[in-house]
Structure 1
Amino acid sequence: MDQHADNNDQDDKRRNLIEIHNPGRPSSRPYVNCGCVALPLCVSCAIPSHMSCSAPNRTAGDIAARVASALSLAGLLLAGCNQKNPDPAPTNVQTETPTTPAELDAPVAPAPPSALTRGDLVSAAGQAASAYVEGQTLPEADPLVGRSFAVRVPFGCNGPSLPDAAKDERDGLAAWTWSSDRKTIQLSMTPGDWTGSALLAETDAAGKWEAVEGFWIPRPWLASESCPAVQADPSQTEALPASPQTVGLAAVFEAGSSRIGRRDGRAYEFTIRAKGNEPLSPPDKGYRMLLEGRVASFPNGRAIECRAPGPEQRPVCIVAIQLNQVSYEDASGRTLSQWSSG
């Protein structure tokens, strides 16, 4: 009987030596005592009964081996107990606002057309001249009416204008001249007074427009906005006269409208001065006059009207416009001076 008591005391000591739970640190998981080891509830239930350290007739070596195996299995099971299920991946998540059928069927607004250039208006004037000579009747709806334009008119390509040129010959044409001491260059352009012209009289525009100021487009056979590359024949002893002007822009002002922007015989003038003591050099490629605004219409709804004295003469064609801005530029496009109608 004493020997049996001694064996029980030794078993109790062994159980105390291998007990692994910490009584001073509370755990969030409930523990159960697996004979000799305190294990979490989620683990203890998974240990087979043959691995229990409290089974009878076990030696100290057997108990230690089985406890080690139980701890290894407990570690694996504890790792599984601590794992959390991953959050489910979101499904059918919309990151953009869905497009409704009405939005898909909505018409897309077209981009506004670009501003008409010198080449565009010269080409349109040529077609209008052909239609006039052929006697065609054109529809009143003109696609040019209302279009914006930016027309550059090169001038002074062959040098300064003659100082004794008649004023009437220069009306509607830009030119440049030297000052008497050749220290400044004067740019000048006086719009022509076309209010009482025969062409406008034939279009019944007198009752619609109070004033009409004209701007010629020289060399209408040239579509570009630069000076011509062809030079005059040096063998010619006298300057050849320029061809008559046949394409022009008529800035129209309706009766009772604002007088802002009207020149009333006043020229667009600008003076170029030398910088410091440097001599002023004449331009190699002339200057530019930039005209900007919108295409207007004659009383018949057309943007261009043409007239000719006979079938053998080139028709004169005039484009009705509302002028918004006038500028002087050098050949590189640098603005020298500017006038705005407000």
Structure 2
Amino acid sequence: MLMPALSRLRPFAALAATGLALAACDREETPPPASPAEPAAAPPAAAPAPVLTPALDREGLLEALAQAASAYAAGAAAEGQDALVGRQFSIRSAFGCAGPDPRPAEAAEATGDGLARWSRDETRQTIRLTLNPGDWSDSALVAGATDGRWEAVEGFWIPRPWMTGDGCPGIRPDPLAGPATPSPQTAGLAAVFESGGSRLGRRNGRAYSYTVRGEGDAPPARPADGWRVLMEGRFVAFPDGRAIRCRAAGPDQRPVCVAAVQMDRVAFLTADGATLGEWRTG
């Protein structure tokens, strides 16, 4: 009795197996999971902007000269590389803050004392501005320190080194006290010219000179705040590698200190910075 029942079940089992096989064929395969996207590479860091060292001004120069004078007086030896060597400078100094040079204009030009001066030409009704560098080639401050490298050294003084500003002094002389004797010059720039090098810019005893004329027939007047002399260039080194050299006759005298430079520009300016006359080496 059981055999007929089993015979009736076989067709249904075969049909079920066929359906399962068809279902397996119709089922889509699941794709593998996508790999995560790699993060974009970060852009390279920007190079830092170069730090530009500003040109040394009058205040900075006087500070450097004062430090060199102090070290020289104390007998302290300089160590390390001199950061001043190669640095640019732009130095302004006031002149013409008081009466004119009592000497004639021609005599003022002929004297190479390294100071800016002014004089009045009564015949031509003009004012002459002059700056004649001093010949420091054989001075005690420079002689023996050049090691034969320099053919000539022309000197420029920085007047009133106790004033860091480039304006005229506020102290007015007492007319009843008579003329006061100026203090000796103790701060300067030594423009050097290498042996066999270019002589461009070398003055050879010739003064920088500019003539101020009046308007119309009126003679020019000295401005109340004077004029300015501008000196620009870069510092170079003495043979010992230092930009500044100091000397003093004794321990109770203020050392005289000068910086070795290559002078690129000298100019006469008004007090508010307008250029009257200029001389460039290039």
Please, what TM-score do these two structures have when normalized by structure 2? 0.81
Deviation at 1:170, TM superposition (A): 5.5
Deviation at 1:163, TM superposition (A): 1.2
2:150 maps to 209
Name the SS for the 2:59 alignment partner: helix
Cα distance in 1, alignment partners of residues 79 and 111 from structure 2: 35
Deviation at 1:279, TM superposition (A): 3.5
Amino acid in the other structure paired with 2:153: V
1:127 maps to 67
| 1:267 equivalenced with 2:210 (yes/no) | no
| 1:309 equivalenced with 2:249 (yes/no) | yes
Cα distance in 2, alignment partners of residues 282 and 109 from structure 1: 46
- 1:147-184: CA deviation from partner (whole Å, max 9, x where unpaired): 10100121111121111677787610110000023620
Deviation at 1:98, TM superposition (A): 6.6
2:140 maps to 198
Aligned residues between the structures: 243
- 1:275-294: CA deviation from partner (whole Å, max 9, x where unpaired): 21333222211111100000
Amino acid in the other structure paired with 1:192: G
2:280 maps to 340
Match of 2:126 among 177, 184, 193: 184
Larger deviation: 241-250 or 139-148? 139-148
Q: Which runs of 5+ in 2 are unaligned?
A: 1-36
2:188 maps to 248
1:81 maps to none
2:230 maps to 290
Pair 179,229 (structure 1): closer, same or farther in 2 beyond 3 Å: same
Cα distance in 1, alignment partners of residues 188 and 142 from structure 2: 13
Q: Is the 8 A contact 2:111 2:132 kept in 1?
A: no
Name the SS for the 1:265 alignment partner: coil
Name the SS for the 2:190 alignment partner: strand
Q: Percent identity?
A: 50
Cα distance in 2, alignment partners of residues 118 and 269 from structure 1: 22
Q: Is the 8 A contact 2:117 2:130 kept in 1?
A: yes
1:40 maps to none
Cα distance in 2, alignment partners of residues 155 and 98 from structure 1: 63
- 1:87-135: CA deviation from partner (whole Å, max 9, x where unpaired): xxxxx9xxxx9743xx32x651432111100110011100100000100
Match of 2:175 among 198, 211, 234: 234
Q: Is the 8 A contact 1:306 1:318 kept in 2?
A: yes
Deviation at 1:221, TM superposition (A): 0.5
RCO higher in 1 or 2 (8 Å CA, sep ≥ 6)? 2
Amino acid in the other structure paired with 1:187: L
Pair 297,340 (structure 1): closer, same or farther in 2 beyond 3 Å: same
Cα distance in 1, alignment partners of residues 41 and 254 from structure 2: 62
Match of 1:223 among 164, 168, 185: 164
2:9 maps to none
Pair 336,120 (structure 1): closer, same or farther in 2 beyond 3 Å: same
| 1:172 equivalenced with 2:126 (yes/no) | no
Cα distance in 1, alignment partners of residues 206 and 58 from structure 2: 24
Greater helix content? 1
Name the SS for the 1:305 alignment partner: strand
- 1:182-238: CA deviation from partner (whole Å, max 9, x where unpaired): 6200011110000111111242x04111110000001101000111111112331x2
Cα distance in 2, alignment partners of residues 201 and 228 from structure 1: 34
- Cα RMSD for the two superposed structures: 2.2
Pair 168,340 (structure 1): closer, same or farther in 2 beyond 3 Å: closer
Q: Is the 8 A contact 1:297 1:303 kept in 2?
A: yes
Q: Is the 8 A contact 1:140 1:300 kept in 2?
A: no
- The correspondence of residues 33-182 of structure 1 with structure 2, limited to 5 A, is 99-100=42-43, 103-104=44-45, 108-163=48-103, 171-181=113-123
Q: Is the 8 A contact 2:147 2:239 kept in 1?
A: no
Name the SS for the 2:268 alignment partner: strand
Amino acid in the other structure paired with 1:174: A
Q: Is the 8 A contact 2:108 2:130 kept in 1?
A: no
1:277 maps to 217
Pair 168,129 (structure 1): closer, same or farther in 2 beyond 3 Å: farther
Amino acid in the other structure paired with 2:139: S
Q: Which runs of 5+ in 1 are unaligned?
A: 1-91
Cα distance in 1, alignment partners of residues 111 and 255 from structure 2: 19
